[in-house]
Amino acid sequence: MKDYKKPLFVMTDSVSEGVYMASGDSNCWTAEARSVQNWNGSHHVFQMEATHTSAVQHIYTAVTIEMTFNNVIKEAYSENNWNCIVAGNKVTVTRENHGNGYGSGDNAGGFKVWVKSIDEATTKGLECTRCSPRCHSAVNVQGGF
């Protein structure tokens, strides 16, 4: 378990519904990127596969995946225009989800990320050497609050 975060709860006499909380490892996603096209005329295309563990059930509002490459990235974008940030050899993609997505074996995979390096040869030779996912979990409050 990494970085245990003690759950916070608030008791309110005017609310009669229950609150369900999850505890444990905040890194509840696994992610993998595989090359599906090394040159489409301008970019190298990677297919992202991300799966939420079935061992933890909580609401998540997004998953952020930091991709590390073997060379500097100059440009990147993702399917569905999800937030995509480039910094050196890293690309960080945040896939937003509706606020009541339960994390119990959910699959956020099947989306593509297009990346471009300094020239055609370098772009063709790009490899994703690491994928680091992070869950954006939220408290499950029943009763419309």
What residues does 137 pair with on adjacent strands?
60
User: Backbone phi, then psi, for 114, in 5-degree steps?
Assistant: -100, 125
Q: Tell me if residue 73 falls in helix, strand or coil.
A: coil
Q: Are 24 and 37 in contact (CB under 8 A)?
A: no
Q: What pTM, to 2 d.p., does this model score?
A: 0.74
Q: Which amino acid is at 69?
A: F
In percent, how much of the chain has pLDDT > 90? 46
DSSP 8-state secondary structure symbol assigned to residue 82 = -
Mean pLDDT, residues 5-31 taken together:
54
Strands (E), 1-145: 19-20, 29-37, 44-52, 59-69, 75-78, 83-87, 90-102, 111-116, 128-138, 140-141
Q: Which amino acid is at 63?
A: V
Q: Tell me if residue 121 falls in helix, strand or coil.
A: helix
In percent, how much of the chain has pLDDT > 70? 70
